[in-house]
Structure 1
Amino acid sequence: MPLASLLCLVIAVNDGDTLTVRCAAPDDRQPVRVRIAAIDAPEWQQAFGQQARQHLAQICFRQQATLRPVDQDSYGRTVADVRCGDTDAASAQVRAGLAWVYRPYARAHPHLPPLERQAQEQGLGLWSQKQPQAPWNYRHHR
């Protein structure tokens, strides 16, 4: 996928960090699964997993989204910076305490760690738990 921005319609919200979109590219109208860059939301079975999905749906479902693809992950999903309307999806999820900043891939997103610290300090979302388990640890121990 080229690094140019794509204009898409969000047709599904799979979880707190993954969307399915249909883009306006005339050569390809197939649905595309998109992983939001630099964040990792709780898994569906984890505490706050369902809330993370619901929050992302409120922001993005059936909305026009601008995607700036940055990579492709090992599952074949497009990894992209995603804006739904005027809202940066990664920032919104982190600010609400519904996603972790995924630091191995967050170098190009220096605005996210301060949002995470603020959500932590305010005890928002997953940060209301005494010891929230990061999704990458959850997946590793499943």
Structure 2
Amino acid sequence: MMINGKAVRIRLFGVDAPEKGQPFGEKARQYCADLCFNKTVRMVKKNKDQYGRIVAEVYLPDGSSLNHRLVAAGFAWHYTQFSNSQELARAQEKAKLEKSGLWAGKSPIAPWNWRKQHRRMAR
């Protein structure tokens, strides 16, 4: 996100998308870019993460939540470790039932588990 002409990395609140190199990682990134690249969006800061990144809900020009749209389209998981949003939980269940995005795969691996696996393999 560009804020006052400066690139700032934003972590989306309540969601965790597939990592680069993980199945659906590139599709999730592209879906997100298609929704918000070169558009004016609104950010509502929730907090900062352990790396100092802003954690926020991002609203698209039409007023919809980017965070919700990613989960509803099956391009991110509801990150229940950090969010108890019933709206995100329902969006994920619907995406699963409809086999949208990453839910079309046989056994999608949540990014937090994928990161653990790849950290172990890197050692």
Provide TM-score, normalisation by structure 2. 0.90
- Offset of residue 105 of structure 1: 1.4
- Alignment partner, residue 123 of structure 1: 99
Over the residues paired in the alignment, what is the CA RMSD in angstroms? Answer: 1.1
Greater per-residue helix proportion: 2
The one of 12, 15, 27 equivalent to 1:36 is 12
Alpha-carbon separation, structure 1, partners of 2:82 and 2:114: 19
Alpha-carbon separation, structure 1, partners of 2:52 and 2:29: 20
Secondary structure, aligned partner of 2:55: strand
Secondary structure, aligned partner of 2:51: coil
Secondary structure, aligned partner of 1:113: helix
Alpha-carbon separation, structure 2, partners of 1:50 and 1:22: 21
- Structure 1 runs of 4+ aligned residues shifted over 3 Å read none
2:66 partner letter: A
The one of 23, 30, 41 equivalent to 1:47 is 23
Secondary structure, aligned partner of 1:67: strand
- Offset of residue 23 of structure 1: 2.4
| Residue segments in structure 2 that go unaligned for 5+ positions in a row | 119-123
- Alignment partner, residue 76 of structure 2: 99
- Alignment partner, residue 64 of structure 1: 40
- Offset of residue 47 of structure 1: 0.6
Alpha-carbon separation, structure 1, partners of 2:2 and 2:55: 15
- Alignment partner, residue 23 of structure 1: 3
2:2 partner letter: R
- Alignment partner, residue 61 of structure 2: 85
Secondary structure, aligned partner of 1:81: strand
1:125 partner letter: G
1:92 partner letter: R
Alpha-carbon separation, structure 2, partners of 1:90 and 1:72: 16
Cα shift readout 1:25-56 (whole Å, capped 9, x = no counterpart): xxxx4321101100000001011000000000
Q: Percent identity?
A: 36
| Residue segments in structure 1 that go unaligned for 5+ positions in a row | 1-20
